Amino acid sequence: MSATLDKKPDAEKLTFRRFKEGDSQWKTRTEQIFQASYTHKCPTYQKSTPPCQASCPSGEDIRGYLAIVRGTEKPPAGVTWQEYAWRRLTEANPFPSVMGRVCPAPCESGCNRNEVEDFVGINSVEHFLGEYAIEKGLKFNAPAVKTGKKVAVIGGGPAGLSCAYQLALKGHQVTLFDEHAELGGMMRYGIPGFRTPRDVLDAEIQRILDLGVKTRLSCRIGKDVTIDALQKDYDAVFMGLGAQGGRALPAPGAEAPNCVTATAFLRAFNDGRMKYVGKRVVVVGGGDTSIDVATVARRLGHIRTGHGTDHAELAIVGKAAQDVAEVTARQGAEVTLTSVFSIEKMQANRHEVEQALAEGISIRDGWAPVEVMRGADGRATGLKIAKCEAKFVGPKLEVKIDESSAEIVPADLIVSAIGQAIDFTGLEMFNNGKGMVSTDKNYQVLGHAGVFAGGDVIRPHLLTTAIGQGWIAAEGIDRHLQGETQDKRPKIDVHSFDLIRKLMERNLAPEPAPHEPVLGTGEAKFAVHNYEDRAARYVIPHDELFLGHFQHTARKQRKVTTLTAEQALGNFQERLAALGEKEAQEEGKRCMSCGLCFECDNCVVYCPQTAVFRVKKDQSTTGRYVDTDYNKCIGCHICADVCPTGYIQMGLGD
């Protein structure tokens, strides 16, 4: 039987009272510091990292751009809120329109709003902002000063492009080397166009090139140019090779010519060589790549011909090009996807799994490949699979197979989507013996000063992971070029809201600090008083928020075109539509702004001593909306209790 996904039950109506009738015991030691009606603790304003940002491998300031979308943080004069939000987002990720479509959005899994009813549609807002920027022709701002330093970036995929982008913003001259005819890496050659429209990808890549980034395409380092020559001509090197070689199926008979890898399959499709597949296609995997292969196979279908040159594997390995004229006779393909994991534990995006099931793709979850069955001509005729139990023991995957349950799934084409490999030809000195590159936390290659790496060459993972590693490596490269030591990375890597930058924007920045330390001051103009930035080390959990403040509000969902098996055949149109402007703003308002004030006035309204007050408009900004008169404050904790975002913590005093 094919697997099915259970529908999520209606959200439970929750309440979040801190105390119930009859409560007589303190729940925590912190609450026991109350002394009748006062304590010696007074409120401080402490910015923490929300779990969405901590879960985002790209390091986007998610809370920051959602605050702009919702209208809490105002843009400077002459800048639209859409552009201001887009610029905040792209400080970390230059591909919002692409990633708004294909990112599996780990930020949404971490969202504290899941404790109320449903996560904030972060990915959909990102998609909206990316589309706005393309429509309006927004460009990145090139730096006015150039450093004169040159950096070579090997690989034009998400890691390489991200690193090149960040380095160009810092004023360095960057040259991108890529063995393909076009940039994009797995975004272009590994993901089908109906998920990443090529005009969108091209627009977001062109913005990076417009910063002055040079390119050398169809050029392989290690073959066309040696690594020694590269290191001689450039001040630093970034390796973003990508893992565009697939892993063969580890089963007897897998050497059959029609048993191919997912990367080869998708490359042939995206290059336009493969126009159709066999009647019966079996995909082995469980991640997003396997879903991409299955949905592409469903769309390509098969044709009936009386000759052998129609075999898909011939187009995949480049021995033959399929005749585009024959696709008019295209018929549906039977597509089966097998995974050693249950459907709930498959790594693929749940949304993509649902679409695959709707399109008639059979998902055999909890089944492992045992043997490739072959005919007299050596070609695969089927895949023997058996029920299994799979679990990770540390980093190692252990699969227990029930041999007695084995059965054969007929196949004209078998695609292995179980992982990827890196081609180190000409770059063998960087291989750590495990088919990857070893780096420190700044992504500098161990034993090779001035050489940095990121993306699949470190560990094949998400596109957003590669983007994040690209900007972290760019920071390390920048320090290397300036002769600085590599600093210890912060515990939480995020591009977070910067209060000082916001104050500077409003001409409210503190004065320069004196050379001598000043203790115990509350009047000096060189500090932001009663404020602490804990964002580099602390992620605020849901139990530090006042969830009772938030009303149940349904998520604004993007329109998704769901196809049947018949409709999918030959359909290469995009399925995902961006939110409208109003919908994006409404979704932004669902953000709970965990760890940063969103100006709800609860603390002002409920303070019994009128100690908490709004800052004067000409002196206020995001993050400094309220202040406390400590001459009036009695430390009753009410402001902290009613703060929805956890921004107010009781910290001052003895």
Determine the 3-state secondary structure of 158 from DSSP. helix
221/169 same-domain check: yes
> How much is the average pLDDT of 535-557?
94
Read off the pLDDT band of 321 (50, 70, 90): low
Instruction: Name the H helices within 542-624.
Output: 565-568, 581-588, 602-606
> How much is the average pLDDT of 190-205?
95
**Is the pLDDT reported for residue 618 higher than 50?**
yes
Range of the domain at 308: 249-419
Give this prediction's pTM. Answer: 0.89
Question: Comparing C-alpha atoms, which of 94, 79, 250 is closest to residue 169?
Answer: 94
414/453 same-domain check: no
pLDDT of residue 330: 73
**Is the pLDDT reported for residue 319 higher than 90?**
no
Residue type, 483: G
278/239 same-domain check: no
pLDDT of residue 9: 47
User: Tens digit of pLDDT for each residue in 511-540?
Assistant: 877 766 666 556 677 778 888 899 989 999
295/412 same-domain check: yes
641 and 48 in contact (C-beta within 8 Å)?
Answer: no
pLDDT of residue 36: 46
User: Tens digit of pLDDT for each residue in 337-354?
Assistant: 999 999 999 988 888 999
266/370 same-domain check: yes
189/234 same-domain check: yes
Domain count, the chain: 2
Of 370, 395, 419, which residue constitutes the final position of a domain?
419
Does the residue 314 lie in any domain?
Answer: yes
Find residue 259's DSSP bridge partners: 414
- Give the lowest-confidence range in 253-267, 423-437, 451-465, 494-508: 494-508
**Is the pLDDT reported for residue 255 higher than 70?**
yes
pLDDT of residue 558: 96
User: Tens digit of pLDDT for each residue in 368-380?
Assistant: 999 999 999 999 9
pLDDT of residue 373: 97
Read off the pLDDT band of 13 (50, 70, 90): low
Chain-centre distance of CA 32, in angstroms? Answer: 42
**Is the pLDDT reported for residue 28 higher than 70?**
no
pLDDT of residue 583: 97
Cα 543–548–552 angle (5° rounding)?
A: 110
Does the residue 522 lie in any domain?
Answer: no
Read off the pLDDT band of 184 (50, 70, 90): very high
266/399 same-domain check: yes
**Is the pLDDT reported for residue 358 higher than 50?**
yes
Average pLDDT, the chain: 90
Of 481, 500, 519, which residue constitutes the final position of a domain?
481
Residues 6 or more apart whose Cβ sits within 8 Å of residue 263: 189, 190, 243, 244, 245, 246, 289, 420
> How much is the average pLDDT of 31-60?
80
Does the residue 555 lie in any domain?
Answer: no
- Give the lowest-confidence range in 350-354, 523-527, 555-559, 560-564: 523-527
Does the residue 403 lie in any domain?
Answer: yes
Question: Comparing C-alpha atoms, which of 366, 369, 350 is closest to residue 358?
Answer: 350
Cα–Cα distance, 132 to 97 (Å, whole number): 9
pLDDT of residue 479: 96
> How much is the average pLDDT of 407-415?
96
